[in-house]
């Protein structure tokens, strides 16, 4: 890619990917001085309907609020305590082996994305249903080869809709468009990253995350003798641990003034089951195989305490989806006029509690770099190397936590509070759980 000096003021910027990282980096480009920002999102689905949960460490929230990427207008639930349980016969909740501080805010992906989308300026061009098939080099710029009908419309930042200017080259079918700068925020299968760093490939970690989010009204179906109807506090994050894995359960806002119980189960698939996961993929809702569903039922029935396993089974099979664990990072986040952010640059296992956080931090750091380019032509390069170092730290942390919590678990039943503290300290010796401090 061309490495000539980039003029940010008035630049024509493309953002590939329209999820949280894409909306945040589009906002960064606007604030950094870009002239026009176009966001390409390959899906046509309603992203605001995505109901999975995520968490943001309180300290990272303060940093991102100061940088202008989060605020109290984004619905959240305040979490304070992580409680760790093992199965103990028929005891509904199991036996608590310990508790640790858990200073996080929880969010629902869809409402958080929607709030970021609303913050985009009105002149942001949002083009759903367009796939970026290839990235190429042009004189003083970058070309994108686009496939798709462009949905016939584009969305302004405030959520209103307006007709796309088809005469300006956004018509249906395959065509090529040129931009001064391209930001890859297109996830772990990023076409922008493949162009910038073709040798970087995600590595399958050998285990999966089963995910679900249970609406509050379904929880009333859980009834155990002697157990209150609502036996866990709103501010609690539950860890249900067993040999070879764990589940993490916490409440998230549902975007309508209520809550859901978000859960993520980490464990390996049954031995000998070939899921073809060497190539990055996922199993969306409705695609769970019989063998995987049987394994899910075994874990919830036999390995977890009855209440927590029962809560997870309130998610019907057609709503379950599976996220295989991959990890990788690009050595740096820039290559000429190509810039990476979010999962396109780094995927760290979700144990780190920093997926969405790192994407927002990338955006804040990118904004600072774009603002600095007129005085410091190397500012984007500094962004690339600095965020690359952060990505490596998060990948290493995710691998350590994965070994401790899934792949080489202790005998949880023998641990007490002191044993839990020691096990956690060994896994997170760097103290980076929840994301690294943002330093511009």
Domain boundaries, the chain: 12-50+113-150+174-202+328-397, 53-108+203-326+405-428
pLDDT value for 431:
79
Q: Coil, helix or strand for 134?
A: strand
Q: Coil, helix or strand for 253?
A: strand
Fold of 53-108+203-326+405-428: D-Amino Acid Oxidase; Chain A, domain 2 (3.30.9)
Q: Was domain 12-50+113-150+174-202+328-397 assigned CATH 3.40.50.880? A: no
Which residues of the chain fall short of a pLDDT of 50?
Answer: 151-171
pLDDT value for 200:
87
pLDDT value for 214:
96
pLDDT value for 170:
45
Token couple for 340? 């990476």
Distance CA 325, CA 327 (A): 7
Distance CA 345, CA 184 (A): 8
136-169 pLDDT, tens digit each: 988 889 999 999 755 434 444 443 333 333 333 4
Element of type H or E holding 138: strand 131-138
Contact (Cβ atoms closer than 8 angstroms) between residue 251 and residue 260: yes
Tell me which residue of 97, 74, 77, 100 sits closest to 87, measured CA to CA: 97
pLDDT value for 370:
97
Contact (Cβ atoms closer than 8 angstroms) between residue 270 and residue 295: yes
Q: Coil, helix or strand for 302?
A: helix
Distance CA 53, CA 105 (A): 10
Distance CA 404, CA 101 (A): 18
Phi and psi at residue 230, to the nearest 5°? -125, 85
pLDDT value for 2:
54
Question: Which residues are paired to 146 by β-bridges?
Answer: 132, 175
Q: What is the DSSP string of 28-39?
A: HHHHTT-SEEEE
Contact (Cβ atoms closer than 8 angstroms) between residue 344 and residue 186: yes
Q: Which residue has the tokens 């082996």?
A: 97
Contact (Cβ atoms closer than 8 angstroms) between residue 383 and residue 334: yes
Token couple for 15? 């953002």
99 burial level (CB within 10 Å; 0-12, 13-18, 19+): middle
pLDDT value for 401:
95
Q: What is the DSSP string of 171-237?
A: -SSSEEEEESEEEE---TT-HHHHHH-TT---EEEEEEEEEEEEEGGGGGG---TT--SS-S-TTEE
- E strands of 225-281, at which residues? 236-242, 245-253, 259-267
Half-sphere exposure of 197 (CA within 13 A, CB side): 23
Contact (Cβ atoms closer than 8 angstroms) between residue 366 and residue 32: yes
pLDDT value for 391:
94
């Amino acid at each position: 890619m061309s490495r000539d000096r980039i003029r940010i003021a008035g630049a024509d910027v493309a953002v590939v990917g329209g999820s949280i990282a894409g909306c945040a980096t589009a906002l960064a480009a606007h604030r950094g001085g870009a002239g026009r920002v176009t966001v390409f999102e390959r899906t046509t689905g309603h992203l605001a309907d995505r109901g999975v949960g995520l968490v943001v460490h309180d300290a990272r929230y303060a940093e991102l609020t100061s940088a202008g990427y989060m605020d109290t207008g984004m619905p959240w639930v305040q979490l304070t305590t992580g409680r760790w349980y093992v199965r103990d016969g028929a005891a509904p909740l199991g036996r608590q082996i310990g508790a640790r501080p858990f200073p996080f805010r929880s969010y629902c992906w869809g409402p958080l994305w929607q709030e970021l989308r609303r913050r985009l300026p009105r002149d942001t061009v949002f083009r759903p249903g367009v796939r970026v098939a290839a990235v190429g080099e042009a004189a003083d710029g970058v070309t994108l080869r686009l496939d798709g009908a462009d949905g016939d419309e584009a969305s302004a930042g405030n959520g209103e809709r307006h007709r796309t200017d088809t005469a300006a080259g956004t018509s249906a079918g395959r065509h090529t468009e040129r931009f001064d700068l391209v930001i890859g925020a297109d996830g772990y299968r990023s076409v922008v990253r493949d162009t910038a760093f073709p040798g970087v490939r995600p590595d399958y970690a050998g285990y999966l995350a089963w995910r679900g989010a249970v609406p509050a009204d379904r929880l009333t179906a859980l009834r155990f003798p002697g157990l209150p109807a609502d036996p866990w506090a709103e501010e609690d994050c539950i860890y249900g641990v067993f040999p070879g894995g764990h589940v993490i359960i916490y409440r998230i806002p549902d975007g309508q003034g209520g809550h859901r119980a978000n859960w993520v189960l980490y464990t390996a698939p049954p031995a000998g089951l070939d899921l073809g996961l060497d190539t990055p993929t996922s199993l969306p809702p409705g695609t769970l195989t019989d063998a995987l569903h049987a394994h899910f039922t075994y874990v919830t029935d036999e390995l977890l305490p009855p209440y927590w396993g029962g809560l997870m089974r309130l998610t019907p099979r057609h709503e379950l989806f599976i996220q295989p664990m991959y990890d990788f990072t690009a050595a740096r986040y820039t290559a000429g006029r190509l810039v990476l952010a979010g999962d396109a640059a780094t995927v760290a296992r979700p144990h780190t509690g920093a997926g969405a956080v790192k994407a927002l931090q990338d955006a804040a750091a990118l904004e600072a770099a774009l603002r600095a380019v007129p005085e410091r032509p190397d500012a984007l390069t500094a962004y690339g190397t600095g965020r690359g170092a952060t990505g490596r730290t998060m990948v290493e942390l995710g691998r350590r936590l994965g070994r401790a919590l899934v792949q080489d678990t202790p005998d949880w039943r023998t641990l007490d509070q002191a044993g839990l503290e020691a096990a956690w300290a060994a896994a997170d010796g760097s103290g980076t759980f929840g994301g690294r401090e943002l330093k511009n």
